[in-house]
C-alpha cells in the first residue's frame, strides 16, 4: 500500500493504465506497419505522384494519423519510464517530462499538417 504522502508529482502512475496503453499502442503500430509494408509492396511507388496517391486515400491518412498518435503516446510512456529510472531530482525530471510532452504534441500537430495539406 502506497501512502498518500509518498506520492510525488513525477512519480509512478499507480495502476495498470500505462502498462496497458504501452501494449495496445504497440499492437496498433505493428498492425499499421504490416499494412504500410503491404501497400508499399503492392504499389511499389518510385515517383512522387505515387506516394502522394497512397496518402491521398482518406483511410490511409486516418490510419497513418492513428499510427502517429499511438507512436507519441507509446513514446511518452516509454520515455517517462526511462526518466523515472535515471533522473531523480523532481525539478529536473518534471522539466524533462514537460519538454517531452510539448515536443510530442508539436510532432502530432506537425503530422496533421503533413497528412492533410
Partner 1 sequence: MEAKLLKKQRPKHLNLFKISQPLPAIVSIMHRISGVLLFFPGIPLLLYGLQMLLESTDSFEALHAFIQNPLVKGLILMFVWFGLHHLCAGIRYLALDLHYGIALTHARASSKWVLAVSVTLTLAVGISLW
Cα–chain center distance at 86: 21
Q: Side-chain half-sphere of 80: how many Cα atoms within 13 Å? A: 19
What mask, x for binding partner 1 by CB under 8 A, covers residues 2 to 31?
---------------------x--xx--x-
Q: Where are the beta strands (DSSP E) in the chain?
A: none
Q: How many residues sit close enough to partner 1 to count as binding (CB under 8 A)?
A: 23
What is the closest distance, in whole angstroms, from the C-beta atom of residue 4 to partner 1 in the complex? 27
| Distance from chain centroid for Cα 56 | 23
State the residues that interact with partner 1 by CB under 8 A.
23, 26-27, 30, 33, 47-48, 51-52, 55, 71-72, 75, 78-79, 82, 100, 103-104, 107, 110-111, 114
Amino acid at each position: 500500500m502506497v501512502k498518500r504522502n509518498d506520492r510525488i508529482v513525477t512519480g509512478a502512475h499507480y495502476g495498470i493504465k500505462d502498462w496497458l496503453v504501452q501494449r495496445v499502442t504497440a499492437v496498433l503500430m505493428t498492425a499499421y506497419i504490416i499494412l504500410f509494408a503491404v501497400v508499399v509492396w503492392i504499389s511499389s511507388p518510385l515517383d512522387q505522384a505515387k506516394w502522394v496517391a497512397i496518402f491521398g486515400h482518406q483511410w490511409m491518412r486516418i490510419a497513418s494519423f492513428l499510427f502517429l498518435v499511438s507512436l507519441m503516446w507509446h513514446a511518452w510512456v516509454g520515455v517517462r519510464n526511462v526518466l523515472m529510472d535515471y533522473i531523480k531530482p523532481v525539478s529536473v525530471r518534471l522539466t524533462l517530462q514537460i519538454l517531452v510532452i510539448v515536443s510530442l504534441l508539436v510532432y502530432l500537430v506537425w503530422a496533421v499538417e503533413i497528412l492533410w495539406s
